[in-house]
Amino acid sequence: MVVKPYQIPSESMEPTLDVGQRVLVNRFLYHLRDPQVGDIVVFHPPQGAETGGQGQCGDPSTGAGGSSGSACAQPTSEKSDVNFIKRIVAGPGDTLSIRDGHPVVDGELANEGFIRPCRPGGACNLPETITIPPDHYFMMGDNRGASDDSRFWGPIPRDWLIGKAFATYWPPDRVGIF
């Protein structure tokens, strides 16, 4: 199927996407072009991410991010069979640090008026710069204080990406294209 529906399972993408909201995902687009920073994508996270426990670089339940004040730089080798939905905030070769929950990519602070602010803790400020490996993408949920994401388990390989979310179709009052 080129387009497939998915339901939002958690609050990690609020306020952009609410729990229970349904989106349509283009599963073919990334065969034609590279994923872009800002894309909302469905992907397979690393094994263990689905339990919400400690990732290879930190613990989302305590807000502790990577070691030495950096986001997790090392990709995890085993993928999970579940699906997550997050936003790409950095791509291959980009340098990244986190300031007040916002990515600083190649020295530029991202302008993200759409996010839910980060709550105080180690994953809101990760000032040490990392470099995203070739063919990998760094994912973050829009609800920065309630998202288990690449800050804890590292960048995601391109071949773990399922597709780009492009529209919402449920509930009726939230139907739209993004």
Question: Annotated catalytic sites, by residue?
Answer: 12, 86
Helix (H), strand (E) at residue 6: strand 3-7
CA distance 28 to 44: 16
- Residue environment code for 79-111, b if the CB has 16+ CB neighbours within 10 A, otherwise e: bbeebbbbbbbbbbebebbbeebbbbbeeeebe
- Find where tokens 């390989």 sit: 157
Best CA proximity match to 127, nearest among 73, 72, 69, 68: 69
Q: Longest C-alpha distance within the chain, in Å?
A: 45
Q: Which of 130, 125, 169, 167 is nearest to 144 (CA)?
A: 125
> Which amino acid does the sequence have at 43?
F
Other C-beta atoms lying within 10 Å of the C-beta of residue 135: 15
